[in-house]
Structure 1
Amino acid sequence: MSDEEAIALLESCYSSPRLGPLNSFGYRAAVWRIAPDTVAKLLRSPVEVYLMNLASSQTSIPIPRIRRCITCKGQQFLLMEYVEGSDIYEIWPSLSLWRRFRVVWTLRGYVQQLRALELPNKGIPGPIQASGAPLLCQGHYFSERGAGPFGSYAAMTAWYNGRSRLNSVLLDPSIRNASMIPESKTFFDDSMPLVFTHGDISPANIRLGKDDTVWLLDWERAGAYPKWFEYANVRAYDRHHDNDESGWPRGFDWFIPLIAGWYKTQLLFLKNNATGIGHYGFEGFD
């Protein structure tokens, strides 16, 4: 398929239904099936292709093959192999207990492989690049417009602890100046090493192939983060709302500690300071 043919397919499919579940805002991911064996994804992170290649070259994790990147209407699209099968949010209720355990145990192995992967830029958290400065960190536990880029692990730790102080200011209108901010009692846990983290293991990013192969999709939020961060990101989908198809199917949450470990205290820090972490535009809190 030439670039011209791919662009023509994209233009014809751009207004067609997207793939994946509806989120709480009523939207699906910016992914379209443009051919029987190919999907196109709107590329938001310039390093996603590199991260996918890094993970596929150093692990045995099944990851869709990259076909090419093209520009269409001023935007970058990633063309990838379409994997025949069903996403976990669709098929989980129909799986036997044994098949459920097999999926979970396989995911556990994937997380362990990623954590053992050699990081190209040790000591610098965030998206991993082959070269150059670290990029903006984005995802569930960063501000609305992202955070960083951080030049060191210590800098990211300082940002989170600063956001904890900001959280106190935002939730207590009686605080009028810095001297009134109470001393923090909990802090961001930076005692564990930075490891390769998928960052978005979710019901729509785990696909069970026709042959029962467990595929891991969407590497946009992958990067170098504390070991416990994978657990926190998996837990971000602990929701069961009628208008939100993107949460874990009922019963899956019991298996999350087996997949990514159990880091309840670290997750509680993020949840308790969610208001401060999610805001942007405040100076002097990092």
Structure 2
Amino acid sequence: MDVPTIRLSDPSTAVPSECSGDRCRRFNRQLDSSICSSASGYGSSSEYDRCRACGWWHNHAAYYGTIRLQDAVNDRGVWFIGSDKILKERPADDGLCTQGAISQALALDPAIPAPRVLHDWRDAKKQYFVLEERVPGTTLGQVWPTLIQSEKTDIAKQVAEVRQRLRALTAPSIQSAGGGACYPPFPCYVGCRADGPWHSDAELQETLRARLTEDTPCGLPDKIVDNLLARMPTCGPYVLTHGDLHLTNIMVQEGKLTGIIDWEYAAYYPVWLEYVLVSSQSNCPDDAEWKALLREELDAHGDGYPDAVRFWDDVSALKGYPYLDGLGQRLLEKLSVGE
């Protein structure tokens, strides 16, 4: 069973007498043991109730520390270390594990507001850890309903300006920050395993061709694939791309941008990919409103790629071939005659 994401409050607002284990047990009651393995729950007669997150026993909870579990989902966790550091833990096969290299790339432009990675490493079990500075402020998602329209627009403008700086950080290939494999820049293939690097647009097209002919239920005909790939916009330059400008990854304070966080999937991608991802549908109304504003600002900064959005909409429409909806059928007819 999937474990829901848990977002705990800022440590500064936590009850002073509540240790990490207590907090886990409190959420355990709400989420049916999604984090803690408490058989009887907080306040039970058993004094040997151990927290799976911090490993501490309830009867030893006299330590009132400043290390707090801030976010957890499945086997991924984020801990606040005091007031100014964050420790992230990821499973061995999760993400690209290149946040140290990303931090070094971002350091080429100190004006890009991103957390500085102090240390990243793998332990003997290949678990990946990242110790980084904590960005001041709160997430845009937390304060979005309280902001006036001019503040929302101003924050979108600031993020678009950061994107302009990121466009100046380029690589010779579509690759991870460390120069190796990255996730394929295919918005409709979210969750794919790392692949590449791709040293040219032609190499990327061949990978996409394989996906379209092998991953669809019956495989798209070659003629359809040829005509579809002819619509793919030029990918260069390959620029450092965040890849997830969700409003929970934007940090703000007093209506101003203080940082962009969670760069774990960032890599050097086609110049249009960030815009395509921002243009994708969001199930969160606040995030949908945010991304609509951000698209407007990207357009105003000359960073809009509607042709790339249309191309990936077309790719998505054909993923289920031959079981297509009306939109997919009409597109198939056009591609079959070379339109």
- So what's the TM-score if we normalise by structure 1? 0.71
Match for residue 107 of structure 2 among 56, 62, 87: 56
Aligned partners of 1:19 and 1:28 also within 8 Å:
no
Percent identity, aligned pairs only?
19
Shift in CA distance, 78/97, structure 1 to aligned 2, threshold 3 Å = same
Shift in CA distance, 237/274, structure 1 to aligned 2, threshold 3 Å = same
Aligned partners of 2:278 and 2:291 also within 8 Å:
no
Shift in CA distance, 126/275, structure 1 to aligned 2, threshold 3 Å = farther
Match for residue 206 of structure 2 among 138, 158, 169: 158
Q: Which residue is equivalent to 1:258?
A: 297
Q: Which residue is equivalent to 2:182?
A: 136
| One-letter amino acid matched to 2:120 | C
User: Which stretch has the larger CA shift, 194-203 or 224-233?
Assistant: 194-203
Aligned partners of 1:108 and 1:258 also within 8 Å:
yes
CA drift of 1:38 comes to: 1.6
User: Which stretch has the larger CA shift, 133-142 or 31-40?
Assistant: 133-142
Q: Does 1:235 align with 2:287?
A: no
SS in 1 for 2:264: coil
Shift in CA distance, 70/159, structure 1 to aligned 2, threshold 3 Å = closer
- So what's the TM-score if we normalise by structure 2? 0.61
Q: Does 1:148 align with 2:195?
A: yes
CA drift of 1:226 comes to: 1.2
Counting matched residue pairs gives 247
Q: Which residue is equivalent to 1:33?
A: 80
CA drift of 1:127 comes to: 0.8
Write the distance in 1 (CA, Å) between the matches of 2:180 and 2:135.
31
Match for residue 97 of structure 2 among 41, 46, 49: 46
Shift in CA distance, 237/35, structure 1 to aligned 2, threshold 3 Å = farther
Aligned partners of 1:19 and 1:33 also within 8 Å:
no
Query: Which has the higher relative contact order, 1 or 2, with Cα contacts under 8 A spaced 6 or more apart?
Result: 1
| Gap regions ≥5 residues in structure 2 | 1-19, 21-50, 56-67, 321-339
Match for residue 145 of structure 2 among 90, 93, 96: 93
Match for residue 166 of structure 2 among 114, 118, 139: 114
1:72-104 per-position Cα deviation (integer Å, ceiling 9, x unaligned): 673221111222322111111211222112211
SS in 1 for 2:158: helix
Match for residue 267 of structure 1 among 309, 315, 318: 309
Q: Does 1:183 align with 2:224?
A: yes
CA drift of 1:49 comes to: 1.1
SS in 1 for 2:256: coil
Q: Which residue is equivalent to 1:244?
A: none
Write the distance in 2 (CA, Å) between the matches of 1:193 and 1:139.
14
1:200-227 per-position Cα deviation (integer Å, ceiling 9, x unaligned): 2221211103583431111112221111
Shift in CA distance, 34/55, structure 1 to aligned 2, threshold 3 Å = same
RMSD: 3.5
Shift in CA distance, 224/77, structure 1 to aligned 2, threshold 3 Å = same
Aligned partners of 2:118 and 2:132 also within 8 Å:
yes
